[in-house]
Structure 1
């Protein structure tokens, strides 16, 4: 029986999003004869309009290797707390009833929500309001529970690793400490895995509060061995023991979401001061999200997209696809967003890095 299904991409952009869209369209349109409707700009497209685009086989042709998302996305469009400007002030309003009404108006029988923690939390609540939802987990941060890996993570690690390879030569040429700030919010997966792959000397992550004196001691030991440069990788959510995260904007200033950033400059300044050593900061920022997805991310995203269609066919709503080992499983969305997947400070990856001589400033 023919169906109409809708799909949106929410939250920050991520390598592999277009591969998911392609997987969904190929599995739904070509294999089952269904119709796929794309929602533009995440949940914003259901708050306003609705704003939709037809996703047929021609619409997804040639997008497998493209970064970003052809549907657009938004990380501010929470329909349960939507920013509305009135009388010169911005207040947060619950417009979820309008979203449900707009979803029903497009004639779709199910919604595939592709996104991270925030997007899936919204999807779960919409499912409770009667919108049949299937979730597809996405984030470069790799911090979603119940899935071993999220697509986008592999590409981000590759990008950071390549940057570290390039920075080694300039750091060594000038006898500098180079502090590289990477994304990850409250989980240090990108910093840890790219730091190991890229030969970092110090890795600072949110899961292990750091002592600046111990960071400087680790760099000093390298200098005494004749290595007069160091590479320090710091996750944006890392913070000193007894201190707090460095923010660009607090939650009140940014519609309920903290905007991290600046810890790299803080650490570099402290290194310069305590060691009388020239240091520089490199903030990789959104370059980690952009560009061509890796082969691993293309494959995983394609698998997730195809499985999402199969879940709709089975009526497996209120759940998300996930990777467990090398196999796909489905999990309750509520379980997937119950907390963040963070690094175990006593885990094998930390032990490996320590044996390699990497300092965590602890």
Structure 2
């Protein structure tokens, strides 16, 4: 059966804990203590957490909290399984769910590409990928997008300064943010390059939803945040915002109308029929959790794989910042072979950058 049969929640038992010393503060560990006491009352010996970086952070909170208890206190061992379509984990190459989401959304993107070709239009497609660009890059590569941009691509050309007021102190501060005008210019340049050089009047652009968190404050003020402090990105609708801006600038530069449509690809990819690789990976990680607890007698570890699905176990201490207690996010390294792959396949509109893939002829078919 698809989905998460045991259910899921966005509650944050570790809310308010920002450093290790906070674990000794009874006022800040009330929720953690309630979770621990409930597990003990239910006579549960071990907890296998399954989820993304916030779930890992909470699992580590519970593990670290128990280190502050008396030596004779009952222990609930904690083992974590990395499950996220974002694939932004350290300690494992690919998380289960990633290839399923990429496969599903890439097929959707190919459908949109076919529609854009038939109607001489463009789609600005926003995909999940709050902190790192693995998912939008995977979707763009497999779905033949003409451009993909994620938070890793925010360089001086796509950044500007925004003046924001601190809600507590009232002080103004300048923070780097997405230059909406520069992004709009880049996409219009792409559209015009396709039209004038390649005689193609259609295409698709993939944007990571995480770019919305870097928008100037005027675009996101008033948007709700969840228990973990995350912006409700679906309500920002970056795809529609950029599509409307591109439509306006294209008309201004050419005197012509162009249909630009914003599309959000999100929840429909999270519970798709699992990809065969994810079935094998998820099965091995699940068995690995059992073996970590029953054979290896581990506590405070994440189950991982290497090579041909060989099991390995990574201590929480290698995945979580010991000072801030926040999980370490794995970003796409700009200039890496994976990053270059997208640059090879997209439509080039400017001179080759220093890390670029080198000269090539644009496709003419």
TM-score by length of 2: 0.73
Is 1:167–2:112 an aligned residue pair?
yes
Deviations 1:43-101 (A, max 9, x none): xxxxxxxxxxxxxxxxxxxxxxx2211110112x212339xxxxxxxxx9832111111
String of CA shifts for 1:184-237, please: whole Å, max 9, x gaps. 111111111110111100112111024322221122100112100110111101
Q: Which residue of 1 aligns with 2:69?
A: none
> What whole-Å deviation, never above 9, does each CA across 1:140-168 have from its counterpart, x for those lacking one?
00011111110000111011111011111
Larger Rg: 2
Match of 1:292 in 2: 273
**Per-residue Cα deviation, 1:15-38 (whole angstroms, up to 9, x for no partner):** xxxxxxxxxxxxxxxxxxxxxxxx
Residue in 2 that maps onto 1:236: 209
Indicate the SS of the match to 2:48: strand
Q: Which runs of 4+ in 1 moved over 4 A?
A: 239-255, 359-362
Q: Distance in 1 between matches of 2:15 and 2:349?
A: 38
Report the alpha carbon displacement of residue 323 of structure 1 after superposing the two structures with TM. 2.5
- Partner of residue 244, structure 2: 269
How much does 1:360 deviate?
A: 9.7
Residue in 2 aligned with 1:283?
264
Choose which of 284, 296, 300 in structure 2 pairs with 1:303: 284
* Structure 2 counterpart of 1:336: 319
Gaps of 5+ in 2: 17-27, 67-75, 159-181, 252-257, 321-326, 354-365
- Are the counterparts in 2 of residues 153 and 190 from structure 1 also a CA contact under 8 Å? yes
Say yes or no: does 1:217 pair with 2:206: no
Of 93, 96, 113, the residue aligned with 2:32 is 96
The answer to whether the 8 A contact 1:172-1:228 is kept is yes
The answer on 1:189 being equivalent to 2:134 is: yes
Partners of 1:136 and 1:266 lie apart in 2 by 36
Between Structure 1 and Structure 2, how many residues are aligned? 287
- 1:42 corresponds to: none
Deviates more, 1:195-204 or 1:240-249: 240-249
1:70 aligned residue: 5
Q: CA RMSD in A?
A: 2.6
Work out the CA distance in 1 between the residues paired with 2:280 and 2:263.
31
The separation in 1 between residues aligned to 2:29 and 2:245, in whole angstroms, is: 43
- Inter-partner Cα distance in structure 1 for 2:334 and 2:303: 27
Report the CA distance between 1:248 and its aligned residue. 8.5
Alignment of 1:240-251 (within 5 A): 247=220
Does the CA contact (< 8 Å) of 2:144 and 2:345 recur in 1?
no
1:79 pairs with one of 2, 10, 13: 13
After TM superposition, the score normalised by the length of structure 1 is 0.73
